[in-house]
Every structure is written in C-alpha cells, then in structure tokens.
C-alpha cells in the first residue's frame, strides 16, 4: 500500500496509539465480515418460502460457505506471509461485498449456494492478513488483548447480522437487506484503504536462507493439539450459530426478527464479555491456562442451548456458553503464535481457521441432516464431548512447549 506524505504518516511501535488505531480500523472491517456471513441464518424461513429450500439445503448454506472458506483460508494464510497484508485486507472487503450482492440477486437454490461459496472464498482473504498485521504490531504484553478486541467484532457483527437479517426479511425484504450490506462493504473498503495509507506498518524482516517455514510450524506438537481442539470447538460453535435462530423460531413461536435477536444477542454479548476478560487474563495469567479452562467449561452449556426445556433456560445456556467460549477464543491465536515464528503467523491463522471451517461446515450439515429425526442436541453433544477431551490434553502441555 503506497505511503502518504511523510508529514501525515503515523509510525507503529508495539503497543503504541497507532497500533491500537490499526486494531480499530480492522475491527470495523471484521464487523462487516460477520454481519454479512451471519445474516442469512435469520432468513431461513424466508428462503424456505421464496426459493424452496429444504432442511438439508438450508444446512448447505452454512456448509458451502464454511468449506469454501476453509479451502480458501489455507491458501490465504500463506499469501498473508508473502504479499502485502493491508492489500489483502482491502481486496477481501471489496470482493466479499460483490459476493453478497450476488446472493441478493439469486433466484434459485443452486444460484444462492454458488454465491455463498464465492463469499466464503473472498472472506477467507481477510483474517490471516488482519491477525498477522495486529500480532506484528503488538508485543507479548498486549497481544492477547489486541487480538481479543479485534475478534470481538465477530460477536457484535454476529448479533447485528442475526437481528438485521430477521428485520430485513420481516420489513424490507431479504434481497434489499443483503444489497444494502454489499454497498456498505464497498464504501468501507475505500475508507479503510485511505486510512491505512496514513499508518506506517513496520516491514517484515528480509528473508534469510533456512528461516522458518510452514513445515516448521506443523512440527509443533502443541500447535497440533490446539488445532484439533479448535476443530472440535468450531464444529460445536457453528451448529449453534446456524441452527439456534431456527430452533427458537420453531420451538417458541417467535417472529424471525425476535428469534434472530434472541439467538444472537445474548450469545454474542456474553462471548464479547468472555473475550475481553479472557484477553486480559491471558496476558496476565497465561494463555494456555485461560484458554483451556474456557474450552472445558463451554461444551456443557453448548449442549444445554438445544436441550433446555424453556426459552429462559435456552438463553441462560447461551450466556454461559458465550462467557466460557470467549475465554478460549480470546487466546487461541495469541497462544498459537507462541509456538511459531513471525513469518508463519499468516499460515498459522489460516491453518486454525481452515480446520475450524471444515469442522463448522461438517457440523452444520450433520445437524441439518438429523434435525428432523433426532434434533440438534445429540449432534452438539458429540462435538462437545470431543472438545472436552482435547481441552484436557491441551492443559497437560508444558508451558510454551514447542516444537
């Protein structure tokens, strides 16, 4: 990204005001990212009515997105270590806005799913580059907090997307609602590109012969265990994200607006609180310990979200899940970065997100396939049990165990 005139350039030093300004700019982009991906889960009833989606094809909306995202992010992670990261962030924002516009223009199930897949590929460019930018500008003392603040955008974005999707379907029409999001994304891409020109991001060190490669990162047993734990966690998480709005709508007779809000607001706000606390505790008390505690506790609440006998208990379980899951989410990437070289930050973020995406897509699809016969709760229980096993294994790892 070309630099502005020297008088306007703000240099970044670890933990400086400019470093936190970078977090704020990327937070807004990540917010739009999650509004765009979450909004469709609150319009499931409208898609059943207007385009003839079934339970399985509704599940494919989530699965196609996550699986194309997972494939794309493995590539995007490596690109984030080779290409200008700021450029990748801005390009992703423009491209996924085009994809959500295409989704709004769809008139068949297949067309909708194709655009949903395109959205997964384009959104994949964002996170590895953004996380690596932030980690490179924040030292050990503030890294968990910086990444937690950035990731909090996905929670607020998810809640906004859940409410906005239901509201648009009930009042403005889902096509117009999605088109408005596309326009907002393109406009913010321009704002972001201009703002990043004013921030002088430290260049990455020059390459040297024999420096760390992705293969070196994969040799870390601790990273492999963390990746397996994240895989199981994301399978459970995306079952909740994808099916909770429809579960509340169908079981408790709420409108799409009310169901979308109830399914996302409490979950996302509590996760936000858990992440802020988890980021602080991770920097102070140790990231592995805080992440492991959250990962052990959240599966219990994850199961109860669908098994609870009343709306009040469902909401209470969602709050419990959010608080405990937030402890893990705040520290997972900062913890991984303790075990890899800086030149592999993009690859590592891509690896974790890619495996999480594969798990999430599988979880959504399996839950959809068995929803009519067994309900979602038994499927969540399987993912919850596997998450607990890997959480215990992660806690047994030596501090900063490496490679």
> Which of 178, 181, 87, 182 is CA-nearest to residue 125?
87
Alpha carbon distances (Å) from 146 to 20, 228, 344, 387, 400: 7, 24, 19, 26, 20
The residue count for the chain: 403
Alpha carbon distances (Å) from 357 to 68, 234, 244, 354: 8, 7, 18, 5
- Three-point CA angle 235, 403, 209, nearest 5°: 115
pLDDT digits (tens, 9 = 90+) for 46-97: 888 888 888 788 878 877 887 888 888 888 888 888 888 889 999 999 999 9
**Scanning the structure block, which residue is given the tokens 């607001």?**
265
Average pLDDT on 150-174 reads 82
Average pLDDT on 32-46 reads 85
Q: Is the pLDDT of residue 120 over 50?
A: yes
- Three-point CA angle 378, 379, 380, nearest 5°: 90
DSSP reduced 3-state for 13: coil
Average pLDDT on 283-290 reads 85
Binned at pLDDT 50, 70 and 90, residue 206 comes out as low
If one compares 373 and 120, the residue with the highest pLDDT of the two is 120
pLDDT digits (tens, 9 = 90+) for 212-224: 577 777 788 888 8
Beta bridge partners of 10: 199
If one compares 263 and 232, the residue with the highest pLDDT of the two is 232
Q: What is the pLDDT of residue 137?
A: 80
Q: What is the pLDDT of residue 392?
A: 87
Q: Are 395 and 292 in contact (CB under 8 A)?
A: yes
Domain borders along the chain are 19-201+212-395
Percent of the chain whose pLDDT exceeds 90: 26
Q: Is the pLDDT of residue 117 over 60?
A: yes
Does the domain at 19-201+212-395 match CATH 1.20.1250.20? Answer given as yes
- Three-point CA angle 226, 229, 234, nearest 5°: 120
What tokens does 19 get? Answer: 């470093």
What tokens does 279 get? Answer: 């980021």
Q: What is the pLDDT of residue 102?
A: 92
Alpha carbon distances (Å) from 115 to 51, 65, 105, 333: 14, 9, 9, 29
DSSP output for 149-180: HHHHHHHHHHHHHHHHHHHIIIII-HHHHHHH
Q: What is the pLDDT of residue 207?
A: 53
3-state helix, strand, coil in the chain (%, to 5): 80, 0, 15
* Burial class of residue 396, CB neighbours in 10 A (0-12, 13-18, 19+): exposed
Terminus-to-terminus CA distance in the chain, angstroms?
A: 34
| Helices and strands (H, E) in the chain, number of each type | 15, 2
């Amino acid at each position: 990204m070309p630099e502005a005139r020297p008088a306007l350039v703000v240099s970044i030093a670890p933990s400086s005001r400019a470093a936190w300004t970078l977090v704020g700019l990327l937070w807004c982009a990540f917010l739009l990212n999650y509004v765009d991906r979450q909004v469709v889960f609150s319009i499931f009833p409208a898609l059943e009515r207007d385009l003839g989606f079934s339970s399985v094809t509704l599940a494919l909306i989530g699965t196609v997105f996550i699986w194309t995202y997972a494939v794309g992010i493995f590539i995007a992670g490596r690109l984030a270590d080779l290409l200008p990261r700021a450029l990748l962030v801005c390009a992703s924002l423009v491209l996924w806005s085009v994809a959500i516009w295409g989704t709004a223009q769809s008139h068949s199930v297949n067309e909708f799913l194709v655009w949903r897949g395109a959205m997964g590929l384009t959104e994949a460019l964002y996170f590895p580059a953004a996380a690596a930018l932030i980690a490179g500008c924040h030292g050990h003392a503030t890294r968990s907090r910086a990444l937690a603040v950035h990731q909090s955008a996905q929670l607020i974005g998810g809640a906004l997307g859940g409410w906005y999707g239901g509201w648009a379907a009930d009042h403005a029409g889902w096509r117009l609602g999605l088109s408005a999001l596309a326009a907002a994304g393109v406009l913010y891409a321009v704002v972001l590109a201009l703002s990043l020109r004013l921030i002088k991001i430290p260049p990455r060190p020059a390459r040297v012969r024999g420096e760390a490669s992705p293969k070196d990162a994969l040799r870390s047993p601790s990273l492999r265990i963390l990746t397996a734990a994240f895989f199981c966690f994301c399978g459970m998480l995306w079952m909740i994200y994808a099916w909770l709005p429809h579960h509340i709508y169908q079981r408790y007779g709420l409108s799409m607006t009310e169901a979308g809000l109830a399914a996302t607001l409490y979950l996302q706000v509590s996760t936000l609180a858990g992440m802020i606390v988890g980021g602080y505790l991770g920097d102070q008390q140790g990231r592995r310990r805080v992440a492991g505690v959250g990962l052990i506790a959240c599966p219990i609440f994850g199961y109860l979200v669908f098994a609870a006998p009343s709306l009040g208990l469902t909401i209470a379980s969602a709050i419990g899940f959010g608080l405990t899951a937030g402890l893990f989410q705040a520290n997972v990437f900062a913890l991984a970065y303790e075990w890899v070289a800086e030149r592999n930050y993009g690859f590592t973020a891509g690896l974790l997100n890619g495996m999480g995406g594969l798990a999430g897509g599988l979880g959504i699809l399996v839950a959809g396939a068995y929803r009519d016969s067994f309900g979602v709760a038994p499927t969540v229980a399987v993912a919850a049990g596997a998450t607990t096993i890997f959480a215990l294994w992660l806690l047994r790892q030596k501090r900063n165990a490496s490679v």
